[in-house]
Structure 1
């Protein structure tokens, strides 16, 4: 799981570098094509039976949400530091808690609601609206986090009927298919070897990262592995400094620490809830 998130972070920095030349939609299509490559490997490994979905409708909606989330995030990182975008994206678990309570009628106690509120306070510290450091593009990350949370809600709905492999396959194929419709309107041929290298790197890291995450989820429960998601902020900070000379200021670090602490507590309460169900 850690290697998977390392590769996802590598893909994020390559996507940000590509925004200097290409439209975000083309970049997301290239990343999605990499995921589709991973699905092809998965089909060869597990067999075509993984394409048999019991609930194809929600599977397709999940794929659309994945495409929208990735497009919004890549559009945002064109304008804001990578570490800040990653930090704000961590509000997704709090949105998932809200969606689970509202849509799935999952019980949420006062301590988890408090963690949600504290997490959103951490996000406000990171983006600091009205203090001269706010960039409107950061709101795209918030919207991307909302779509990511929607994906997770659909994953919970599908978990009882379809396998993880089926969900990943439908997500990749749906996202690639819908993005391909608009691709001719924004397509730019890669102009140089650097662009080709970044494109190949983006596609490969997306595919390999997805395969590693699938393998990790085969070996352990998602609620156990979820805290490793926060390793993205480490890689985002390192890559942001190496590639763009960006380092988060102390307020961004404070806000990120609050978001991570609240998120870990939320995951802890989720783990306890799952144990209680067992």
Structure 2
């Protein structure tokens, strides 16, 4: 929705979004850690840098891939991230992935495929497809790093991601100047969407299996067309509606089962 509203180019958007997101994350760390502000960057520094590289790779490849294929196809290929995260978490972290999670991931992938069915005809290229796969792998890699360092705050890693992405964008953007009209939208894009989003994701992913964390992140391609429809009255089409309903439905059913299972595990108080 924000990208549709602003007039800045892709690299300018990435740069200013990264700047505002970095400021948000730095401010959040300063408020939470205070005197430990600089010390938290020394906790598992290689893991933080690795996760930052994964997030930066995903966001940068997304921009490059748009030059070769459709956004819809990129989002579909991004849907492989839960499967990669599930396999990697089983091999590396020995996290068991239950049948219901595999089923939810399969239904989510079917939903994304239905959403983007109209965009596959006559669009895309091998380079664009490969970049889409890289996005899914990078996002899954970031999730695995978070899970393997559950006792370490990963918000510094999100800050590293904004620095890396912003630096790359600064070298590629023809100009970094933006209009007064674009400034508040990019401020929201950085502070609210990217900064707050990464802070919540890196905090929440520490508490659930990697496959489930990546699965929840698939709400992005499902809800994206809805925001544009609400603001610009752009009809997403029957395929997007049906596919999005399947994707969101699979996540809701998966979460409801978790809540039900957690409730059954609660030991009743002794009267």
Q: 1:151 to 1:268 in 2, by over 3 A?
A: farther
- Structure 1 equivalent of residue 156 of structure 2: 169
Measured on the aligned residues, the alpha-carbon RMSD in Å equals 4.3
Q: Distance in 2 between matches of 1:112 and 1:234?
A: 18
Q: Does 1:32 align with 2:18?
A: yes
**Is the Cα contact below 8 Å between 1:43 and 1:50 reproduced in 2?**
no
Q: 1:101 to 1:85 in 2, by over 3 A?
A: same
**Is the Cα contact below 8 Å between 2:116 and 2:239 reproduced in 1?**
no
Q: Distance in 1 between matches of 2:63 and 2:225?
A: 16
- Structure 2 equivalent of residue 114 of structure 1: 103
- Structure 1 equivalent of residue 186 of structure 2: 199
**Is the Cα contact below 8 Å between 1:72 and 1:141 reproduced in 2?**
yes
**Which entry has the higher C-alpha Rg, 1 or 2?**
2
- Structure 1 equivalent of residue 269 of structure 2: none
* SS in structure 2 at match of 1:29: helix
Q: 1:51 to 1:102 in 2, by over 3 A?
A: same
Aligned residue pairs total 254
Deviation at 1:148, TM superposition (A): 1.9
Q: 1:86 to 1:121 in 2, by over 3 A?
A: closer
Cα deviation code 1:215-254 (max 9, x no counterpart): 985xx9568x979867656753343125554322212222
Deviation at 1:59, TM superposition (A): 1.2
Deviates more, 1:70-79 or 1:123-132: 70-79
* SS in structure 2 at match of 1:190: coil
Q: 1:178 to 1:142 in 2, by over 3 A?
A: closer
1:121-136 to structure 2, matched below 5 A, reads: 121-128=110-117, 132=121
**Is the Cα contact below 8 Å between 2:65 and 2:74 reproduced in 1?**
yes
Q: Distance in 1 between matches of 2:201 and 2:117?
A: 36
Deviation at 1:81, TM superposition (A): 6.8
**Is the Cα contact below 8 Å between 2:18 and 2:163 reproduced in 1?**
yes
- Structure 2 equivalent of residue 7 of structure 1: none
Structure 1: stretches of 5+ with no match in the other structure: 1-12
Select which of 54, 66, 71 maps to 2:60: 71
Q: Distance in 1 between matches of 2:185 and 2:79?
A: 26
TM-score normalised by the chain length of structure 2: 0.70
Select which of 138, 151, 175 maps to 1:147: 138
**Is the Cα contact below 8 Å between 1:125 and 1:252 reproduced in 2?**
yes
Select which of 157, 174, 177 maps to 1:190: 177
Cα deviation code 1:71-120 (max 9, x no counterpart): 344556788578x9778756544443233223323222444333333332
Deviation at 1:126, TM superposition (A): 2.1
Q: 1:190 to 1:54 in 2, by over 3 A?
A: closer
